[in-house]
């Protein structure tokens, strides 16, 4: 009973945060239109120090959320696939949940910053995908709250949904980070090549670990099998008993 009450409270808070941002979007669009008309003659956006800091902070928050914490959360929960120790399994699940909660909170902060401070016409890919991701990122979070018990009838369906939406949001989030860097470069003419390279290296490392996890159990099992196989002695290393058996009769 306590668990159900807690779930309802968290769900209501999540819905409240989503709905609370809608009036801000409408108000900010009117303010942004005025700014766009005033600056329509300039192809390159000249940023004030304050606006430049806000854009960079917005990017860092979304990178930390969808470009780092979400992928790490996926890698962490994959460690539970073959885990038999109940205590370690619980720690893995709690770590995964904590990373997801922190990721959602960072996205909420970045979205509020975007709504209040930036242009929000949703006429470009970065903004449209960002809005879709802001809604979608709540789905695995809410699904995690209402997860069925292991062995229950609906566990398989829940797992497939939770995994699919989590991986999809993560992949689209990574793509949107690249799109955001490109948009920043296009509007300000400031180079983002270093950030692109660093982010690409991070994504490559995460992808390698993800694929390595698929084969790790097989590698461990193969190593165990090879380690337990008895090695037949060579003729030179034959045991005294074998030497006695193969020695000629006197």
Question: How do the domains of the chain map onto residue ranges?
Answer: 2-39+49-217
Please report how the helices 125-136 and 138-145 are oriented relative to each other, as an axis angle in degrees rounded to 10: 10
Of the listed ranges 41-45, 68-72, 126-130, 158-162, the one predicted with least confidence:
41-45
* Closest residue by Cα to residue 77 from 8, 140, 171: 140
> Which residues make Cβ contacts (< 8 Å) with residue 141, sequence separation at least 6?
14, 100, 101, 104
CA dihedral 82, 85, 86, 88 (to 10 degrees): -90
d(CA 171, CA 137): 12
Q: For residue 57, with 0-12 CB atoms within 10 Å meaning exposed, 13-18 middle and 19 or more buried, which class applies? A: middle
CA atoms of 120 and 3, how far apart (whole Å): 38
Q: Using alpha carbons only, what angle is made at residue 59 by residues 56 and 63, rounded to the nearest 5 degrees?
A: 140
Hey, how many other C-beta atoms are within 10 angstroms of the C-beta on 141?
A: 21
Residue with tokens 């400031």: 190
Which residues touch 74 (CB under 8 Å, ≥6 apart)?
166, 167, 170, 210
Q: How many CA atoms lie within 13 A of 6 on its CB side?
A: 6
Residue 75 in contact with residue 206, Cβ under 8 Å?
Answer: yes
pLDDT tens digits, residue range 84-133? 777 888 898 899 999 999 999 999 998 888 888 887 777 788 888 988 99
Q: In the CATH hierarchy, which fold is given to the domain comprising 2-39+49-217?
A: 1.20.120
- pTM of the predicted protein model: 0.68
- DSSP-based three-state secondary structure for 150: coil
For residue 241, what are its two tokens?
């008993």
pLDDT tens profile 180-206: 999 888 888 888 899 999 999 999 999
Higher pLDDT pick, 179 / 232: 179
């Amino acid at each position: 009973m306590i668990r159900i009450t807690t779930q309802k409270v968290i769900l209501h808070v999540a819905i409240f945060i989503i709905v609370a941002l809608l009036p801000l979007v409408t108000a900010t669009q009117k303010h942004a239109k005025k700014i766009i008309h005033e600056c329509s003659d300039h192809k390159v956006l000249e940023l004030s120090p304050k606006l430049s800091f806000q854009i960079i902070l917005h990017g860092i928050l979304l990178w930390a959320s969808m470009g780092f914490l979400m992928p790490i959360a996926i890698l962490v929960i994959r460690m539970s696939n073959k885990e038999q120790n109940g205590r370690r399994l619980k720690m893995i699940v709690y770590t995964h949940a904590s990373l997801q909660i922190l990721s959602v909170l960072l996205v909420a902060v970045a979205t509020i910053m975007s709504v209040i401070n930036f242009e929000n016409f949703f006429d470009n890919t970065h903004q449209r995908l960002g809005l879709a991701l802001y809604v979608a990122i709540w789905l695995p979070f809410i699904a995690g709250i209402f997860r069925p018990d292991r062995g229950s009838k609906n566990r398989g369906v829940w797992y497939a949904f939770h995994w699919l939406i989590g991986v999809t949001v993560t992949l689209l989030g990574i793509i949107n980070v690249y799109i955001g860097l490109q948009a920043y470069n296009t509007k300000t003419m400031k180079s983002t090549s270093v950030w692109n390279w660093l982010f690409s290296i991070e994504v490559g490392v995460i992808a390698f670990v993800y694929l390595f996890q698929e084969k790790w159990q097989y590698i461990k099992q193969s190593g165990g099998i090879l380690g337990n196989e008895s090695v037949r002695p060579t003729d030179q290393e034959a045991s005294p008993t074998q030497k006695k058996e193969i020695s000629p009769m006197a």
